[in-house]
A and B are shown apart, each in its own frame.
Chain A
Amino acid sequence: MEQEKIAKEMFSPAQLDSAKSEEISKPSLNYWQDAWLRVKKNKGAIVSLVIIAILTIMALVGPHLTGHTYEEQNLQHNNLPPRIPVLENVSWLPFDGNLTRKNGDVYNAYEQKNVEEYYWFGTDSLGRDLFTRLWKGTQVSLYIAFLAAAIDMIIGVIYGAISGFVGGRTDNIMQRVIEILSGIPNLVVVILMTILLDPGILSITLALTITGWITMARVIRAQVLKLKNQEYVLAARTLGLSNGKIISKHLVPNLAGVIIINTMFTIPSAIFFEAFLSFIGLGLQPPDASLGTLIDEGFKVLQLYPYQMIIPATVISLIMICFNMVADGLRDALDPKMRD
């Protein structure tokens, strides 16, 4: 052993600051701060969040930007392709108002029809402004999705919380109900309900929520069962808080994570079903616009005027992708299993 010179003084007892040694060196973040840090690291989720925000804003203001309403028809101006000032001069962008004939000829639809006006996203077969219709449709689709998600959340949380919290016979019966309902494919329920109710925003929303809340109820129940016997809930019980108070004061805040994740997965699924119903003829009816009806109408003229389908198809895909990315990101961030 090499022995270097060490001052004798060093071998006197050290002043140990016991408080300091007990200090936890990892800065202790609370659940939400920690989750936020994790979400922030997930670039895909952040970008998606921004895109969702932009699309939501456009869904609100977009319908008022062009001066046209979403149902106003102008048959002289029908089937015009997108044309945007400035961008029309960028040759590789499809915003020059040109169309291609079946034989391959390219012509400018605006010049041919002698239209001075610029329709940013073109017009449909009735000459309605697609820019306005697109954002109106986005608005309606998002509205249906948020509404359905909110209803699912409320029913699911209440049902799951009661089932898990009360337990015993009640829980047993409530679980059997869920078991039977979950045997019904949501496709079937949604179709039967939209046939029963007349197509409309509310009836579609309602149809979506009939079985939509089940997943939420299941997740919540499982969480409640887990949390139920933890100390602070027992303490609250001995303090004489009523069941309702315990649910709202102690459990719900703890359930926030799973609720958020689940809701984020419900939204894209609702958007999909709305569009799906419109596409098979059970959804909103024209002149009402939703992303589904726009895609359905666009699909009918896809080979002649592809822009009429591609634009709403892009928006719906973007919304679906972004919500799924955010949901995935949140799940990874909030899942306690992933925390070190």
Chain B
Amino acid sequence: MAKYLTQRIIYMVVTLFLIASFTFFLMKIIPGTPFSNADKLSDTQLSIMIDKYGLDDPVPVQYANYMMNLLKGDLGVSFQFNNVGVTDIIIKSLGPSATLGGLAILFGTFFGVILGVVAALKQNTWVDYTSTFIAVLGKSIPSFVFAGLLQYYIGVKLGWFPVAFWRGPEYMVLPTIALAMFPLATASRFVRTEMIEVMESDYITLAKAKGASWFEIAFKHALRNALIPVITVLGPLVVSLMTGSLVIEKIFGIPGIGEQFVKSIQVNDYPVIMGTTLLFAGLFVLVILIVDLLYGVIDPRIRLAGGKK
């Protein structure tokens, strides 16, 4: 287990190192970044820049400095806001994004699991078909299309919820629904498949043979076994949340990382773009690692098998 863990962490570091190097050289290549030319910068920015990155230094030294700063959590300085550190910008906008993402994954997986379990238990009935239909829609309709339609029909036409901004719980409803669709669809499909497989397994037959009721079989015996593998889709789900948050924060005007990122793209604020990209990459790698560990903790088969080694 320890060996496996070390190996995983090494991969994680290598991956992050590659991405960081890539962003550095990208910044050197693209015109308009602090590393390639300084024409666009104000004097204060320039002095900070030179100070910070040692722009007079040879490239390898700059590279080393950049990496060192990264290790310290310093992602550089934004263009669009004078002198403001990218790290500060990200930290400031982290709140709404984390809230939105958390809500979406919570509601998405919760209702997705319910939908999947019900579909599996009522296999090949209209309940199952409806659930499949919802899942196909959720997986297929791009989040920005769904968000736009929600905003127009529920927000503008019906006026049930605020159309934009982030000022209280009622503002969270539409963006959460829009962002939760993909986790919901993914979880429901996954849980359905797992649940059907589990329900056909020998130990469920044995549970029936013991006289367990339908309810006990579905919820005491099958559900736990069907839910454990759901952890494995957490990685893809987090990516979908990051992707989704970019467009959904833009659509609903939520002051989060995603909106900041899209704005930065529009004004070529490369340090913010690169910083956010690195953040996403780090987050993703971390989630993958956590999934691995979690799987070991939750599933006693794996926990003990790993422990013996």
**Are A and B associated in one complex?**
yes
Q: Please report A residues at the B interface, Cβ cutoff 8 Å.
A: 179-180, 183-188, 191-192, 195-196, 268, 272, 275-276, 279-282, 295, 299, 302-303, 306, 309-310, 313, 316-317, 320-321, 323-325, 328
Looking at chain A's contact residues, is the secondary structure mostly helix, strand, loop, or mixed? Answer: helix
A20 → B minimal CB distance (Å): 36
Least CB distance, B183 to chain A, in whole angstroms:
16
Lowest 8 CB-CB distances: which A-B pairs, in order?
A183-B15, A320-B140, A321-B140, A185-B284, A313-B145, A317-B141, A185-B239, A280-B262
B192 to chain A, nearest CB (A): 12
Q: Which of B259-309 contact A (CB under 8 A)?
A: 261-262, 265-266, 270, 273, 277, 280-281, 284-285, 288
Known contacts A280-B247, A321-B136; is-contact A195 B144 (Cβ 8 Å): no
Contact indicator A279/B144 (Cβ below 8 Å) = yes
CA distance A250 to B22 in the complex (A): 39
* Contact in complex: B273, A191 (CB < 8 Å): yes
Inter-subunit contact B277/A324 (CB<8 Å): no
CA distance A225 to B242 in the complex (A): 35
| Contact B242 A317, beta carbon cutoff 8 Å | no
Tell me if A324 and B139 are in contact (CB < 8 A).
yes
Decide: A184 near B281, CB < 8 A? Known: A191-B273, A324-B139.
yes
Give the contacting residue for A276; candidates B23, B137, B139, B144; CB below 8 A. Answer: B144
Q: How far is the CA of A134 from the CA of B23 in the complex (A)?
A: 36
Q: Is B151 an interface residue (CB 8 A)?
A: yes
Q: Please tell me which one of the listed residues A282, A295, A321, A323 contacts residue B137 in the complex, with CB atoms under 8 A apart.
A: A321
Chain B residue nearest to A275 in the complex (CB): B142
Q: How far is the CA of A281 from the CA of B151 in the complex (A)?
A: 20
In whole angstroms, what is the CA distance A309 to B147 when docked?
12
What chain B residues lie within 8 Å of A276 (beta carbons)? 142, 144, 243, 246-247
> In the complex, which residues of chain B have a beta carbon less than 8 angstroms from the beta carbon of A192?
22-23, 26, 277
Given A323-B140, A328-B136, 12 extra CB contacts under 8 A:
A180-B18, A183-B11, A183-B285, A185-B281, A187-B243, A188-B280, A279-B144, A279-B250, A295-B144, A302-B151, A317-B140, A320-B141
Is the pair B281, A281 in contact by a Cβ cutoff of 8 Å? no
- The contact of A302 among B15, B140, B152, by CB within 8 Å, is B152
Contact across chains for B280 and A187 when beta carbons are under 8 A apart: yes
Q: Say yes or no: is B59 at the interface (Cβ < 8 Å to chain A).
A: no
Residues of A within 8 A of B15 (CB): 180, 183-184
- Nearest residue (CB) in B for A302 is B152
Task: Across the interface, name the chain B residue whose C-beta is closest to A272.
Answer: B142
The 8 A CB mask of B135-163 against A (1 = contact, 0 = none) is 01101111011001101100010000000
* Nearest CB of chain B from residue A62's CB, rounded to whole Å: 20
A188 touches B144 (CB 8 A): no
Q: A320 to B142, alpha carbons, bound, how many Å?
A: 8
Residues on B with C-beta less than 8 A from A302 are 148, 151-152
Taking the complex as formed, is B98 at the interface, i.e. its CB lies under 8 A from any CB of chain A? no
Q: In whole angstroms, how far apart are the Cα atoms of A173 and B136 in the complex?
A: 37
In the complex, which of the residues B12, B14, B137, B141 has the most CB atoms of chain A within 10 Å of its own CB atom?
B141
12 CB contacts below 8 A, A to B, read A187-B239, A188-B19, A188-B277, A195-B30, A195-B270, A275-B144, A279-B250, A280-B247, A295-B148, A320-B141, A321-B137, A325-B136
Q: Is residue B251 within 8 Å, beta carbon to beta carbon, of the partner chain? A: yes
* B247 x A279 contact (CB < 8 A): yes
Q: Are A191 and B11 in contact (CB under 8 A)?
A: no
